[in-house]
Chain A
């Protein structure tokens, strides 16, 4: 079984758009489970120093897949996330 790590990066408490982004990731993860891809979703605080040290200045919501920021400042739809996750799992 393949594993993909996803970080949904946004402020704490989460804003509406970050929650929407997380939902999109969750939906995509659900689908990929059937295809044998495990997606580990983590909600990370954009204001934490670890995140800034790792990625620099970000605009929320951001989505990092396997430690690379792929989406920033917008809410992607689940299909798009699914495609990105499939690529990452290859």
Chain B
């Protein structure tokens, strides 16, 4: 068999696999099959302590595996096929374009957290300045592909959509505001490099053949799964106890109304782990009676998680970090209130 046929066959096999994954998701949609765990608090409550996580995990994975498989596969594919060099080339060029690209492309570029802070530095140094860099930084975790897919499939696509719009607005506002503050300007001045834009001449990306790219995409999906799933499992075990023991009246009393939004928004940051657990935990608390507004605030808590802030503070000053954390927090409260008010679920 010659090289060409071999490649064609390999491409065919991988494409078939991808179609099956997508097909499974579509099929489950058509059959109106839910990916979320079905066990109710009463079911879990009666079990011995050690059986609770087991029952919950079996329940979760028997429903959720299609969703997870789909999310990881799609994330891998998008990351591989998104035209990275075109984006990086323009990200440094002008302010307006910088903001636009930061908003639109951030979700696709940063399924892997180790690329985020370097990209923040690159955008800051290379010309677009602190505004787009901050917008990118806040948008990336708030709307990454994996999280959005999981939010949409497990909670609802309405919440996922609102979450994207809210995150984008807050990220843009934070970028613009910080670029106007004296301390933001100081950081920008300190780091900006003159005429870095001419550098793009030195980039000639080589593209491997299609079968290798597809394989690389699946490999990356596997890498993501390996990184995230262990923590996800631990998180699910914690969620199983929350579902079993957190009394509905406490959720009803503290996670609804204006106070509920405030509490959810404050908890969302420190409890955020970049492992999708926040989605499952959000879903569990929503089932127990958390309001839609509080749910949105909770989900929007990620931009001010601590690990991220530490990494960024090494480049930008603490003042900048605190400013964007504050804006992100205010944003999550405002959008929580707005969403709760508009949907009548405050």
Please give the residue numbers on chain A whose beta carbons come within 8 Å of chain B beta carbons, in ascending order: 10-11, 15-18, 46-47, 49, 52-60, 64, 67-77, 80, 84
Contact = CB atoms under 8 A, between A and B. Distances in A.
Contacts of A15: 112, 114-115
Nearest to B215: A77
A11 B114 CA distance: 8
A55 B202 contact: yes
User: Binding site of B, secondary structure by majority: helix, strand, loop or mixed?
Assistant: helix
A68 B202 contact: yes
A52 B122 contact: yes
Nearest to B85: A72
Contacts of B202: 54-55, 64, 67-69
B115 A52 contact: no
B166 to A, nearest CB: 26
Q: Which 4 A-B pairs have the closest CB atoms?
A: A15-B114, A57-B122, A56-B199, A52-B125
B208 A76 contact: yes
B123 A57 contact: yes
Classify chain B: how many residues form its interface, as a range: 35 or more
A52 to B, nearest CB: 4
A16 B113 CA distance: 11
B206 interface: yes
A45 to B, nearest CB: 9
9 contacts: A11-B118, A17-B223, A49-B193, A57-B92, A68-B203, A70-B205, A72-B203, A73-B84, A80-B208
Interface string B193-214: 1001101101111101000100
B261 interface: no
Contacts of B205: 69-72
Given A49-B125, A80-B208, A56 B118 contact: no
A74 B80 contact: yes
Contacts of B121: 46-47, 52
B55 interface: no
A72 B196 contact: no
B263 interface: no
Contact of A11 (B117, B204, B219, B223): B117
A47 B197 CA distance: 16
Interface string B97-136: 0000000000001001011011101110110000000000
A47 B147 CA distance: 27
A16 B228 CA distance: 14
B171 interface: no
B91 to A, nearest CB: 5
Contacts of B204: 68-70
A84 B205 CA distance: 11
Interface string B167-202: 000000000000000000000000101001101101
A54 B200 CA distance: 8
A67 B208 CA distance: 20
A22 B227 CA distance: 19
A53 B199 contact: yes
